[in-house]
Structure 1
Amino acid sequence: MKRILTGVALAAALLLSGCGGDDSSTPTSAGSASGVSGNLTVLAAASLTESFNQIGKDFETANPGVKVTFSYAGSSALAQQITSGAPADVFAAASPATMKTVTDAGDANGEATVFVKNQLVIAVAKGNPKGIKGLSDLTNPSLKVALCAEQVPCGAAAKKALAAANVKVTPVTLEQDVKAALSKVKLGEVDAALVYRTDAKAAAADVEGIEFPESSGAINDYPIVALKSAPNPSAAAAFVAYVQSGPALDVLVDAGFQKP
């Protein structure tokens, strides 16, 4: 009888041990919603800073095994970094032209997809002390105006909008990304700058965005793509897909971007 009871107790212990092993393995296999993990490096246009910071946090929450690192700058500078061999997983550009630099070099993994659009406004100091109403006001020689350099998407869009309005503006500075141009207004170093609607909205505590009709003809498409040499290709593909999902699009639209 004693041997029988001992055998039963041993069998029970083994059964419980087996159940415990199943429970401990479940969180490991379900630790990431999409099965991705590791570090993910995203190079993104400066105008995406606030939105992508939030989207990155949301992506990490959905995929606890992933750590997202962003590098923001002018799209043309980022494209040059990629074609020069800089290690990165994803590229999000502020124009198809800068994305083409990467795809033409064979550095993209598949085709780039447009995920949002953006439009220019005239950024002025809070309260619009100079009374600026449109592009023609920027020709006033007493005004200091900042523009993005032409090779940067916001600069290319500004050039197109000014041409549509038949307006010639002589800027006091040409900046390498839209955040730098906006900073000049925030610091009071210029009276106005042509920036994206999203950037003016993000800095609403310090600046106002003046809408102008010619901006409708200079709307920028924002494409995104996973990179061919991505150190973490599975996470890159998952992030590109997530950026195009409903939750991410809600964040982008709330920031002032337009749906593609």
Structure 2
Amino acid sequence: MAAAALSLSLSLAGRTALVTGAATGIGRAIALVFAQAGAAVVLNHLGRSEQAGALVQEIHSLGGQAWALEADVSQSADVSRLAAQVQQACGGLDVLVNNAGILQEKPFLQTTEADWDQMLGVDLKSVFLTSRAFLPAMLARQGGVIINIASDLALLGRAQFAPYCAAKAGVIGLTRSLAREFAPQIRINAIAPGPVATAMVSLEAMSQSAIDKELDIPQHRLAEPQEIAATALFLASDLSRFYCGQVLGPNGGSVMP
């Protein structure tokens, strides 16, 4: 079947996007660039009402639309409530960005079962829960985009980051499985950033060996969150409509497949 003519535009005008973990870091940058591209944006956060509220006001000052909704996306009941709130506030969803995540540096033999469960709950289970919650409505509308934020460490592995690496590798596997199951109606891809200058990746809080590894890439620096947001904008736009189950790597050269 022949495809319709391609629109060479990054505009998201007329679309509604939900970004999880949107109050700070990469999520904040994605929400802001989506709003600047014309999307109405739902900002999910957990316990960051002040930061989320400030971002809502910033988007409003730019003439955009935004709402802040608090939910723990690692919990099924919270995700069900979030889906209902999004439907009520926006009447549907065009783009879902699964960005919520946590990071812990800890020797494997000191990693507890609670550490493991928390990391996989926030970084992987949340992607399962939100995708399961929002896919039915997307399918009913016969279109939608899901973007999952993974990590270059899913591909590289790293000592003392075992639960994080496992969770992000799971995100990539889940992305590819869902992309095969729900194409062509729903376009599902992932982003695997390299080291990014956010509060989660704070060099001040890392061991010297971890700092050295973060900076030992060809570009010798951390990315800015906006550089990751640019990739998300591309994947959300019609320019990426032939991308399916892909893992894009804005990583400064840390991974060269």
TM-score by length of 2: 0.32
Higher strand proportion: 1
Greater C-alpha radius of gyration:
1
Q: Which has the bigger relative contact order, CA under 8 A and spacing at least 6?
A: 1
